[in-house]
């Protein structure tokens, strides 16, 4: 491969890096907002005898919330793929995006050849977002659970 062939990835990076930044900002902002609401909602239940079922319900809601958040973030990438013409239709763009974001992949949907680096960048974004989600859920459990058991 000619070393100058890598220069064609410039557009991928020009689109991909800002998309990563936008999604991380969206993710952190929404997680911070949700954390405030959860702590406020659970504050009155910490000494309540029904804390465990309420806490389990709240964690379940948190998981649904972050799942929706990941879907929105995949939608941001899918919209970008449609804008740049990397994928022909909305359904394929979303399917590809969810596959890339989760690093699952899909063998039937591909980006146009000149945009394939964006798929790898979206996978990188997905790993970062899922790491943030895991840290959020762990921190939520760690902050709330010990105080409730005192």
Residue 1 lies in a domain: no
Predicted local confidence at residue 150, as pLDDT? 52
Residue 129 lies in a domain: yes
Residue 70 lies in a domain: yes
Residue 5 lies in a domain: no
Predicted local confidence at residue 37, as pLDDT? 84
What is the domain extent for residue 82? 12-148
Residue 3 lies in a domain: no
**Residues near 64 by beta carbon (within 8 Å), at least 6 away in sequence:** none
Residue 77 lies in a domain: yes
pTM, to two decimals:
0.86
pLDDT tens digit at each of 150 positions of the chain: 565 565 667 899 999 999 999 999 999 999 999 988 887 777 766 666 777 788 888 889 999 999 999 999 999 999 999 999 999 999 999 999 999 999 898 778 999 989 999 999 999 999 999 999 999 989 888 877 765 555
Residue 2 lies in a domain: no
Residue 88 lies in a domain: yes
Q: How many domains does the chain have?
A: 1
């Amino acid at each position: 491969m000619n070393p100058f062939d890598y220069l064609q990835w410039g557009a991928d990076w020009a689109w991909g890096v800002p998309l990563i930044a936008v999604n991380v900002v969206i993710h952190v902002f929404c997680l911070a907002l949700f954390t405030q609401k959860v702590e406020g909602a659970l504050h009155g239940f910490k000494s309540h005898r029904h804390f465990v079922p309420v806490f389990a319900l709240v964690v379940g809601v948190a998981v649904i919330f972050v799942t929706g958040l990941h879907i929105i973030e995949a939608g941001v990438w899918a919209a970008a793929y449609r804008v740049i013409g990397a994928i022909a239709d909305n359904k394929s763009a979303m399917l590809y995006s969810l596959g890339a974001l989760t690093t699952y992949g899909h063998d039937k949907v591909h980006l146009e050849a000149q945009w394939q680096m964006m798929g790898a960048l979206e996978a990188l974004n997905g790993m970062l977002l899922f790491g943030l989600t895991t840290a959020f859920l762990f921190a939520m459990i760690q902050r709330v659970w010990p105080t409730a058991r005192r």
